[in-house]
A and B are shown apart, each in its own frame.
Chain A
Amino acid sequence: MATVTSPTRRSVTAVGPIQAILRKGFFVVEGWLDQIFTPAWNPFHHFGALGFFYYWIVAVTGIYLYIFFDTSTSTAYTTVEYLTTEQWYLGGVMRSLHRYASDGMVLMMAVHIVREFAFDRFRGARWFTWVTGVPILWFVIASGVTGYWLVWDKLAQYVAVRTTEWLDWLPIFGEPVARNFLSPTNLDDRFFTLLIFLHIAVPLFLLLALWIHLNRVTRPRINPPRGLAVGTFVMMMALAFIKPAVSHAPADLSVVPTILNLDWFYLAAYPLMDVWSHGTVWGAAVSVTLILFLLPFIPPMRRPSAAVVDLANCNGCTRCEEDCPYAAIEMERRTDERPFDRQAVVIDARCVGCGICAGSCPTATPFRIGSDLIPGIDLPNPSISTLRDQLDRAVDNITGHPKILLIGCDHAAQVAQLTNNRIAAVSLPCIGMLPPSFIDYALSRKHADGVFVTGCRDGECRNRLGVRWTEDRLNGKRDPALRKRVPRNRLAWHWAAPTDLTALRREIENFAGRLADLPTADPPTIPTTRTARPAPEMPTGAQAND
């Protein structure tokens, strides 16, 4: 049976096999967590937002701790001990939350990076978000390291000495910074004042870096769903009471710390400084950073063609601008003679070629019979026109009953594997590219008895918002909405990852069973003639399929 796919399917790359393994792992785990938390609360869909949430916990608890903290070598330790032991019910809890939320932030960041890598969300137009994320790694680690320093216990002593020795390898300091920790007499309170300044300034820079990081992401999720936030906060609180954060013995520069309880989230690289030379550790750190920076630029560049605006069909309705997940469309003053205020303009460098804009365009309707199917905004390949041709071709080969048109996404469950004599499939770069009028078209033209839509699992959309917008459009909550005349019992959708083929097949079979039980009353039809007629003038905000 015919299956038509878009040309943006993943190609093989050097890191492809690693990504495939990781992706499969994520699909499996996220499938379990969807069952446990529901997709909306699935923590794996909110790594970035959880990282932000932990940042705010760290900030608030840090302000409280700072009120009591004394920036002096002789009293820093005692003030932290006071908070930990005498004021355990508040100060101690704050300290524990400060530590555990910081650790949670590192963990979220690490898994966030791996997940984005696994799902190939760092290439093409997405390079900016990836690259601007790399300095965030350093800011987070620097924030944590300077924090551990402030406690001025044995661990702080170890971290201080190793860090400054490592920094001294760079020939930029007139006097070795590590000399500050040579003996108890070498260290003064001013150095601690500098440290507390760093521990406040670096997280502020981190916040700035996070803002830049999200600059090309529209509607970024920076807050987790309330239920998930409450759950994770209660978890942190419980951990703070069950296992309060404590200090080592006070620092003593005349004695080398021997056994240390490292915070492995922040200090995992420190043991390397004990076995490798500082130059080697610098080399490793710089190499890892460079690899991360360069990852988006390693061939194949895989930059799909950007969307194209056709001014003759653009009425400046702004839907494409609102729906674009990557801020790749801007509305600008009209440059032609048409009686509209604005027109859509695509910023090619930001466009990932998902086609969500084409799906949102009211002129992207297959019913257009008076002109070629050229929407106001479209992908060069596959275009909306191609999609209609593909759909027509695919359903022509159906011989069984009930006839089902399966519309899927290149990055979700592969619809090609589900075709048979009753099911024809069309695959899009993103399900968000599907104009709802295509469903109306397939049913009203009797191309199919039912339409089944599938795409990435909820919260896992390769292009962030494709699934959300599609669901809203099909539910009539978002323009362009699916027309009311479309019989809902002939439409079904189910979001499925590539690992969910069995479940998807089951859903389709159930749908086929329901279709078979339906009375044979025909869905509404409209003429099929495509005679050349001038395109009707589109008023602002009008839906061509209404």
Chain B
Amino acid sequence: MIKAIRLMAQIAVYGGFAALIGYFSDSPAYTNFAGDKAVIVLSFAHGAEHKGECQKLSREELQKLAPNMRKPTSCPRERLPVVVKLDLDGTEIFHAALAPTGLAGDGPSRAYQRFVVPAGRHTVVARLRDTKRKSGFDYSTTKTIELRPSQSLAVDFRADVGGFIFE
């Protein structure tokens, strides 16, 4: 009798353990995102122009270098920051000068920003400057988009295809 009670109690303990694991393995449900919203993700990795100009080395300067290092020009490695600006329906939602990556500041500038916006029609203006110009932008794209609820819109930038890509 005691053995039977003990067995029943063991089954109850195992059952409780199973219930604990079974429940918390997928419950309670978590609402990550309101269904009536959408997301715009601005992300790119792009290197701006180098900060300084390349300089032609004189014969004397070249002679001082090891034979295998004698390139006729010397170019500074450091890049300019990439300036990016994103407007949504006429309102600026992001504006930053993104420093180049790398210890020597010679890597690409990188961006990854998420913006939660109401679903519906929006006008997005994306601008980017990657040269030494003091004002204005080198790239600018204006796009009117219809965002469905829960849609994720990626705003990428690739100079080789002409600028901003909306996908």
A291 beta carbon closer than 8 Å to chain B: no
* Inter-chain contact A103/B30, CB cutoff 8 Å: no
> Smallest CB-CB separation from A237: which chain B residue?
B18
* Inter-chain contact A165/B112, CB cutoff 8 Å: yes
| Residues on the A chain within 8 Å of B6, using CB | 35-36
B62 beta carbon closer than 8 Å to chain A: no
User: Could you tell me the distance between the alpha carbons of A232 and B13 in the complex, rounded to whole angstroms?
Assistant: 10
B27 beta carbon closer than 8 Å to chain A: yes
* Inter-chain contact A243/B14, CB cutoff 8 Å: no
* Inter-chain contact B26/A36, CB cutoff 8 Å: no
* Inter-chain contact B107/A100, CB cutoff 8 Å: no
| Residues on the B chain within 8 Å of A35, using CB | 6, 9
* Inter-chain contact B29/A175, CB cutoff 8 Å: no
* Inter-chain contact A261/B110, CB cutoff 8 Å: no
User: Could you tell me the distance between the alpha carbons of A37 and B13 in the complex, rounded to whole angstroms?
Assistant: 10
* Inter-chain contact B18/A257, CB cutoff 8 Å: no
* Inter-chain contact A258/B150, CB cutoff 8 Å: yes
A495 to chain B, nearest CB (A): 19
B152 beta carbon closer than 8 Å to chain A: yes
| Residues on the A chain within 8 Å of B58, using CB | none
User: Could you tell me the distance between the alpha carbons of A492 and B14 in the complex, rounded to whole angstroms?
Assistant: 34
> Smallest CB-CB separation from A182: which chain B residue?
B154
**Contact for B43 among A37, A178, A253, CB less than 8 A:** A178
> Smallest CB-CB separation from A234: which chain B residue?
B14
> Smallest CB-CB separation from B41: which chain A residue?
A182
**Contact for B33 among A179, A238, A256, CB less than 8 A:** A256
* Inter-chain contact B9/A258, CB cutoff 8 Å: no
A452 beta carbon closer than 8 Å to chain B: no
A96-113 at interface with B (beta carbon < 8 Å)? 99-100, 103-104, 107
* Chain B: number of interface residues, binned into ranges: 35 or more
Known contacts: A36-B9, A175-B108. The answer to whether A261 contacts B27 by CB under 8 A is: yes
Known contacts: A171-B101, A256-B152. The answer to whether A179 contacts B45 by CB under 8 A is: yes
A12 beta carbon closer than 8 Å to chain B: no
B78 beta carbon closer than 8 Å to chain A: no
Known contacts: A176-B112, A256-B151. The answer to whether A262 contacts B10 by CB under 8 A is: no
User: Could you tell me the distance between the alpha carbons of A36 and B24 in the complex, rounded to whole angstroms?
Assistant: 25
| Residues on the A chain within 8 Å of B9, using CB | 35-36
B71 to chain A, nearest CB (A): 24
User: Could you tell me the distance between the alpha carbons of A171 and B112 in the complex, rounded to whole angstroms?
Assistant: 13
A151 to chain B, nearest CB (A): 12
B94 beta carbon closer than 8 Å to chain A: no
A33 beta carbon closer than 8 Å to chain B: yes
B6-29 at interface with A (beta carbon < 8 Å)? 6, 9-10, 13-15, 17-18, 20-22, 24-27, 29
B102-116 at interface with A (beta carbon < 8 Å)? 102, 107-108, 110-112, 114
B135-150 at interface with A (beta carbon < 8 Å)? 150
* Inter-chain contact A242/B22, CB cutoff 8 Å: yes
| Residues on the B chain within 8 Å of A262, using CB | 26, 29-30
* Inter-chain contact A100/B21, CB cutoff 8 Å: yes
B156 beta carbon closer than 8 Å to chain A: yes
B68 beta carbon closer than 8 Å to chain A: no
| Residues on the A chain within 8 Å of B29, using CB | 259-262
Known contacts: A174-B108, A176-B110. The answer to whether A265 contacts B25 by CB under 8 A is: yes
| Residues on the A chain within 8 Å of B153, using CB | 254
Encode contact with B along A253-275: 1 for CB under 8 Å, 0 otherwise.
Answer: 11111111111110000010010
| Residues on the A chain within 8 Å of B43, using CB | 176, 178-179, 182
Interface size of A by CB at 8 A reads 48
User: Could you tell me the distance between the alpha carbons of A36 and B167 in the complex, rounded to whole angstroms?
Assistant: 61
* Inter-chain contact B151/A257, CB cutoff 8 Å: no
A231 beta carbon closer than 8 Å to chain B: yes
| Residues on the B chain within 8 Å of A107, using CB | 20-21
Known contacts: A36-B6, A174-B108, A182-B154. The answer to whether A256 contacts B24 by CB under 8 A is: no
B91 beta carbon closer than 8 Å to chain A: no
| Residues on the A chain within 8 Å of B111, using CB | 176
B86 to chain A, nearest CB (A): 15
User: Could you tell me the distance between the alpha carbons of A168 and B72 in the complex, rounded to whole angstroms?
Assistant: 39
Known contacts: A175-B110, A255-B152, A258-B33. The answer to whether A183 contacts B167 by CB under 8 A is: yes
* Inter-chain contact B26/A261, CB cutoff 8 Å: yes
B55 beta carbon closer than 8 Å to chain A: no
**Contact for B10 among A174, A231, A239, CB less than 8 A:** A231
A237-254 at interface with B (beta carbon < 8 Å)? 238-239, 242-243, 245, 253-254
**Contact for A183 among B26, B35, B114, B154, CB less than 8 A:** B154
Encode contact with A along B30-59: 1 for CB under 8 Å, 0 otherwise.
Answer: 111111001101011100000000000000
* Inter-chain contact B18/A238, CB cutoff 8 Å: yes
A152 beta carbon closer than 8 Å to chain B: no
B17 to chain A, nearest CB (A): 6
* Inter-chain contact B39/A103, CB cutoff 8 Å: no
B34 to chain A, nearest CB (A): 8
Q: Which of B18, B102, B108, B150 has the most CB of A within 10 A?
A: B18
Encode contact with A along B150-165: 1 for CB under 8 Å, 0 otherwise.
Answer: 1111101000000000
| Residues on the B chain within 8 Å of A253, using CB | 152
User: Could you tell me the distance between the alpha carbons of A179 and B21 in the complex, rounded to whole angstroms?
Assistant: 34
A26 to chain B, nearest CB (A): 15
* Inter-chain contact A258/B32, CB cutoff 8 Å: yes
* Inter-chain contact A258/B35, CB cutoff 8 Å: yes
* Inter-chain contact B21/A239, CB cutoff 8 Å: yes
| Residues on the A chain within 8 Å of B38, using CB | 256
User: Could you tell me the distance between the alpha carbons of A103 and B107 in the complex, rounded to whole angstroms?
Assistant: 41
* Inter-chain contact B10/A36, CB cutoff 8 Å: yes
| Residues on the B chain within 8 Å of A261, using CB | 26-27, 29-30
| Residues on the A chain within 8 Å of B39, using CB | 256
Encode contact with B along A27-53: 1 for CB under 8 Å, 0 otherwise.
Answer: 000000101110000010000000000
A185 beta carbon closer than 8 Å to chain B: yes
Known contacts: A179-B45, A183-B167. The answer to whether A259 contacts B14 by CB under 8 A is: no
**Contact for B30 among A37, A165, A168, A260, CB less than 8 A:** A260
> 15 more A-B contacts (CB under 8 A) besides A36-B10, A175-B45, A254-B151?
A33-B13, A35-B9, A43-B13, A99-B25, A100-B22, A100-B25, A103-B24, A174-B101, A183-B156, A235-B17, A256-B38, A258-B31, A258-B33, A259-B32, A261-B27
Which positions in B face A, CB cutoff 8 Å? 6, 9-10, 13-15, 17-18, 20-22, 24-27, 29-35, 38-39, 41, 43-45, 101-102, 107-108, 110-112, 114, 150-154, 156, 167
7 shortest interchain CB distances as A-B pairs? A261-B26, A175-B45, A235-B14, A176-B112, A36-B9, A183-B154, A182-B154
